[in-house]
């Protein structure tokens, strides 16, 4: 496959013409060949949240060749969960022999822990299986996605909100400073948009009580992970007038039990769940337990977003604007304009 890089030493996925050709080592044909590489996508502007600033999206890209078909997948290692690019590559290498020998998506659940590495391999296997006719997925549809305003001064956030005047759903990143002023500034610029507020675990329950009347007054639709995931007991005794979604507090089905009575929604991200296979099971379990669904993402390229689109119709809140932050996305990827996300070009993934 021909690839061109934006960052030095980086290669980029192009989904169609050069996906063909069986790989060989010497004269021995392999059942499969798996390769994993690190890639870096510079952002068009700094992305500020409560725990830091991101200027580059660092991803792991997996390629699995079998016969005439190639499957692709992407994962975004996240330091909040103790992940790194090097660690993800090592985890994929540990599973490579099993995958090349024929291990499938269900096998990955035992072979690899949940996380970005498994997500990348799972996505590549889905792509491969669909191309070979061994699996099917519904075609992705245009969706309404949140577009995100990063943390800044109230004045700068107001200006950023004005630029999103046509977006029906906007996500506002906050920390514990000037919460009311910042929300008011965004709402004054966006009188009609639905709002998600995401403090990324930076609040205390006392601050939550203090700012809740302002959140209600500014018609916030969803509050995402206000308290630290390991210190959210206060939510059990807090009667919220606004829906609250678990993000950092939920990775898999086992987490759902402790979330009851604290959260109304769960934010499913494929990088947390460890792939579309696990995310679909988590969505089923969460809905059965009475939770509403939010579908989120890391700052990723369209290759990381494409699998998540298959879950989007089930979610009350969709936040898949990761590629919107990139200075340059992969060719043929999603298009995001005025809060509408159009799927990738045919053949891009699955």
Helix axes 116-131, 276-288, angle to 10 degrees: 100
Say what the pLDDT of residue 144 is: 98
d(CA 218, CA 230): 28
Q: Report the run of H or E that residue 161 belongs to, with start and end.
A: helix 154-162
Domain boundaries, the chain: 24-131, 143-342
Partners of 245 in the β-ladder: 224, 265
Q: Report the run of H or E that residue 320 belongs to, with start and end.
A: none
Say what the pLDDT of residue 238 is: 95
**Per-block average pLDDT, block size 10, for the chain (350 residues)?**
34 39 40 96 95 95 97 97 97 98 97 98 98 96 97 98 97 97 98 98 97 97 98 95 97 97 98 98 98 98 98 98 98 97 97
CB 283 within 8 A of CB 311: yes
Say what the pLDDT of residue 157 is: 98
d(CA 329, CA 127): 19
Q: Using alpha carbons, list the distances in angstroms from residue 48 to 68, 74, 258.
A: 43, 23, 30
Catalytic residue IDs: 173, 269
CB 128 within 8 A of CB 329: no
d(CA 114, CA 120): 11
pTM: 0.91
The fold adopted by the segment(s) 143-342 is TIM Barrel (3.20.20)
Say what the pLDDT of residue 255 is: 97
Q: Report the run of H or E that residue 44 belongs to, with start and end.
A: strand 33-49
Question: How many other C-beta atoms are found inside a 10 Å radius of the C-beta of residue 84?
Answer: 14
CB 170 within 8 A of CB 193: yes
Strand runs labelled E in 133-219: 143-144, 147-149, 169-173, 194-198
Residue with tokens 């993934």, as numbered in its chain: 349
CATH number of 24-131: 3.30.390.10
At residue 316's C-alpha, the angle toward residues 269 and 159, to 5°, is 85
- Pairing of β 143-144 and β 292-295: unpaired
Strands of 143-144's sheet in order across: 143-144, 340-342, 335-337
Q: Report the run of H or E that residue 272 belongs to, with start and end.
A: helix 270-273
Say what the pLDDT of residue 5 is: 33
């Amino acid at each position: 496959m021909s690839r061109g890089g934006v960052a030095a030493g980086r290669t980029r996925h192009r989904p169609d013409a050069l996906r063909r050709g069986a790989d060989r080592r010497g004269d021995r044909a392999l059942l499969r060949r798996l390769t994993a590489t690190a890639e870096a996508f510079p952002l068009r502007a700094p992305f500020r949240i409560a725990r830091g600033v991101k200027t580059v999206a660092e991803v792991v890209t997996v390629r699995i060749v079998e016969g005439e078909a190639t499957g692709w997948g992407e994962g975004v290692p996240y330091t909040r969960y103790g992940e790194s690019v090097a660690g993800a590559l090592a985890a994929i290498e540990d599973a490579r022999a099993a995958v090349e020998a024929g291990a499938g998506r269900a096998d990955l659940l035992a072979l690899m822990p949940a996380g970005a590495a498994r997500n990348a391999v799972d996505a590549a296997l889905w792509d491969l299986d669909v191309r070979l006719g061994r699996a099917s997925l519904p075609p992705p549809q245009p969706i309404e996605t949140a577009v995100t305003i990063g943390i800044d001064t109230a004045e700068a956030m107001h200006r950023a909100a004005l630029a999103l005047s046509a977006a029906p759903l906007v996500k506002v990143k906050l920390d514990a400073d000037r919460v009311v002023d910042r929300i008011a500034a965004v709402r004054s610029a966006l009188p009609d948009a639905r709002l998600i507020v995401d403090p990324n675990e930076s609040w205390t329950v006392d601050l939550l009580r203090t700012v809740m009347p302002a959140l209600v007054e500014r018609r916030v639709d969803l509050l995402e992970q206000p308290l630290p995931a390991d210190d959210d007991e206060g939510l059990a005794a807090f009667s919220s007038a606004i829906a609250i979604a678990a993000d950092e507090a939920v990775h898999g089905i086992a987490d759902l039990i402790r979330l009851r009575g604290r959260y109304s929604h769960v934010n499913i991200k494929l990088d947390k769940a460890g792939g579309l296979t696990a995310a679909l099971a988590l969505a089923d379990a969460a809905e059965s337990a009475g939770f509403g669904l939010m579908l989120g993402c890391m700052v990723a390229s369209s290759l990381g977003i494409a699998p998540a689109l298959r879950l989007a119709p089930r979610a009350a809140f969709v936040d898949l604007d990761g590629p919107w932050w990139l200075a340059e996305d992969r060719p043929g990827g999603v298009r995001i304009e005025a809060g509408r996300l159009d799927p990738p070009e045919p053949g891009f993934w699955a």
